[in-house]
Amino acid sequence: MLDELRRPFFVIALVIILVVVLIEVGSPYMMHAADTSFDRPGYGIQYLVFIDAFLFYVSLLIGLALIIPERVQGRVQGCVTLILSFFGCLGIFVAIIFALIFIIILISLLFAPIFGTAAYLAIYGGFDRSGANVTLGLLMTLKIAFCVVLIAAHQRFLQSKSLVLLTLSSLLATLIVSFLINFVPGILASITDALGAIVVAILALIWAIVFMVGAVISIIKAIH
């Protein structure tokens, strides 16, 4: 049983999850790192950032506890979490509406023969599934590496229910996007990708609400 945190492993885990977030938001540096470019076609991959940003935030809080005194962190953490989760909720809600509108446009085009269907097939019929799979594969590899390195840093991380559940949610969300992109006929992949984005966003919205409620409770406790 490990008693002490192995800081190098923990820092590596933080860097890995930061890289995941950067790839999902489409950082120009990450997208062209080492002369390779990672495509992020569709909405599904981009929307994964909503969950992974929370995962990065939780990991960062654990890391900050090593640097900042516990007394100071206890006071600040609740307020910061409340602000972040509130704006996170708003952002995710708007993102859900965007994806919903996109799906409605796609469906109405697809079922409007001949020129609507033709436009759908010409523009959205050839979803870049290979590019999406490459990016999702990279993200999944990094996320699994994050889990392994985090356990290597300290086994007691497994006792943190929120961290474990959030990590599982992130992995599950990646699987959902992958499933929805790959298990439908190619011409429908754009629609199911947007559907996957909505599912992921709803999952992230639930987490944002959980964080917000937790933050409010901790602030009330701190006041009393």
Partner 1 sequence: MDSKKLVIVILIVIAVVFVIFAGYGSLTVYQPKRTNARESKKDAKVAPTPGWAKSIDSAFSGWQESVQLRCGPPPDQNSKRRCDDLGTGPIVVPSAKEPWLPLMKKTEFRTLKLVLLEGQRVHINYLDKKGGKNIDNPQFFDLPDLDNNNSLKGSIAVMENGGTLTISCLDNVPCRVGQE
Under the criterion CB under 8 A, does residue 6 sit at the interface with partner 1? Answer: no
Instruction: Give the DSSP letter string of 133-200.
Output: HHHHHHHHHHHHHHHHHHHHH-GGGGG-HHHHHHHHHHHHHHHHHHHHHHSS-GGGHHHHHHHHHHHH
Residues 168-187 that bind partner 1 (CB under 8 A): 168, 171, 174-175, 178-179, 181-187
Q: Residue 198 in contact with residue 96, Cβ under 8 Å?
A: yes
Residues 77-96 that bind partner 1 (CB under 8 A): 94
**Which element (helix H / strand E) includes 224?**
none
| Candidate segments 24-32, 41-49, 139-147, 206-214, binder of partner 1 by CB under 8 A | 139-147
Closer residue to partner 1 (CB): 76 or 87: 87
Other C-beta atoms within 10 Å of 139: how many?
Answer: 24
For residues 86 and 82, give the distance between their C-alpha atoms in angstroms, rounded to a whole number: 6
Under the criterion CB under 8 A, does residue 8 sit at the interface with partner 1? Answer: no
Please identify which residue in 15, 60, 123, 213 interacts with partner 1, judged by CB under 8 A: 123
Where along the sequence are the contacts to partner 1 (CB under 8 A)?
94, 97-98, 101, 103-105, 107-123, 125-127, 129-130, 133, 136-137, 140, 144, 147-148, 151, 155, 158, 168, 171, 174-175, 178-179, 181-187, 189
